Structure 1
Amino acid sequence: MQKRTVLFTAALLAGLLTPLLVQAQSPKEYSDIRALGTSPQWLTTKVYIEGAPDVDVKDKYPGVVGISMWDPERNRYEFFYTDTGQSKYEHGGGGYFMVTGDRKTHILVPDKGPYRSIVRRLEALNNREFTYSREVPRDMVATNENVRIYVVHAPYKGPIKTTPTQ
């Protein structure tokens, strides 16, 4: 019940804070959330810092790298390690997700783990690419200044098969 309250509050705030201009734009600019269901698995292919799209820094942000599964019908997600296919569910790597009405914000509400919700800016979403950005401490070191990272995913066609926990 508490997660639903958090999810509802986040959606309400996002809707109230969205400028009317954005809501009046043509829908052709927006991502289609159903595109998450066009591949059973998505793989993180690149992570870069704002202003440096040619420099891949996946090794400095291992917490955002992996294979992910998205179920748009149930609004459920789960993350997996790329080397073993093991689920990250027990450590906050699974739960509910939503996309705001303007289709520019992607919100995760983990079932478990240290975070109540994670708000990400949706940069691209189609059947070939899923990219989001968010602010995190540089190199994921809590005392460092925040930077905006971009996390790029593509449909995964490799040998690791994942199975959702929930």
Structure 2
Amino acid sequence: MKKYNCIFTGLFLVTLLTPVASQAQPTNADIRAFASSPQWLTTKVYIEGTPQVDVKDKYPGVVGISMWDPERNRYEFFYADTGLSKYDNGGGGYFLVTGDKKTHILIPDKGPTRTVVRRLEALNNEEFTYSREVPRDMVETNEKVRIYVVHAPYKGPIKTTTSH
């Protein structure tokens, strides 16, 4: 827990030191929007410059159902086909949105990745979209590309519950 306190304290200080002018810029991100739906479903993944081409099949690790608890700053990811949790593989932990509402940071409780920084593109009651640089087709030796991951409130039959 001490590790998380240090991480959150550092991120909090960075947010405080961000120039006030950048925090005043208009944005369509509102962290409260996470609470507008109990579940969010990945609806599309595309590479920068080609929004008309859905490449979800090439990036299955970012596809699924997600749950966000803005009151506790907790998240958990689930497989869209089974509803099973991805928690043990880094699919659950803490999150935060920076004060300028431009960055979404994940801090998994478990798994090989310790922190994931994503650019927040949209966050409102109807859409949650982030982007980040990853190796093309998630093959480590490939060049990096920026992918955009689009989510919408999920209204399907799978009901998920957070495990932590």
| Shorter-chain TM-score above 0.5 | yes
Offset of residue 15 of structure 1? 5.5
Alignment match, 1:111: 109
Offset of residue 14 of structure 1? 5.7
Offset of residue 40 of structure 1? 0.3
Asked whether the equivalents of residues 15 and 100 of structure 2 are also in contact (C-alpha less than 8 Å), the reply is no
Is structure 2 residue 85 aligned with structure 1 residue 77? Answer: no
Is structure 2 residue 8 aligned with structure 1 residue 7? Answer: yes
Is structure 2 residue 19 aligned with structure 1 residue 23? Answer: no
TM-score, normalised with respect to structure 1: 0.92
Mapped to 1, the partners of 2:73 and 2:30 lie a distance apart of 14
Mapped to 2, the partners of 1:92 and 1:3 lie a distance apart of 15
CA deviations on 1:56-76 (whole Å, 9 max, x unpaired) are 000000000000000001100
Q: Give the SS at the match of 1:29.
A: coil
Offset of residue 94 of structure 1? 0.2
Letter in 1 for 2:23: Q
TM-align CA RMSD? 1.5
C-alpha spacing 1:5/1:45, structure 2 compared with 1 (3 Å)? same
Asked whether the equivalents of residues 30 and 102 of structure 1 are also in contact (C-alpha less than 8 Å), the reply is no
Mapped to 2, the partners of 1:24 and 1:74 lie a distance apart of 25
Point out 4+ residue stretches in structure 1 off by more than 3 angstroms: 10-16, 18-21
Residues 14-163 of structure 1 aligned to structure 2 (within 5 Å): 16=17, 18=18, 21-25=21-25, 28-163=26-161
Residues paired across the two proteins, number: 163
Asked whether the equivalents of residues 15 and 100 of structure 1 are also in contact (C-alpha less than 8 Å), the reply is no
Mapped to 2, the partners of 1:134 and 1:24 lie a distance apart of 23
Mapped to 2, the partners of 1:24 and 1:68 lie a distance apart of 29
C-alpha spacing 1:15/1:46, structure 2 compared with 1 (3 Å)? farther
Gaps of 5+ in 2: none
Gaps of 5+ in 1: none
Q: Give the SS at the match of 2:41.
A: strand
TM-score, normalised with respect to structure 2: 0.93
Mapped to 2, the partners of 1:2 and 1:36 lie a distance apart of 25
Q: Give the SS at the match of 2:157.
A: coil
Mapped to 1, the partners of 2:15 and 2:141 lie a distance apart of 28
Offset of residue 89 of structure 1? 0.3
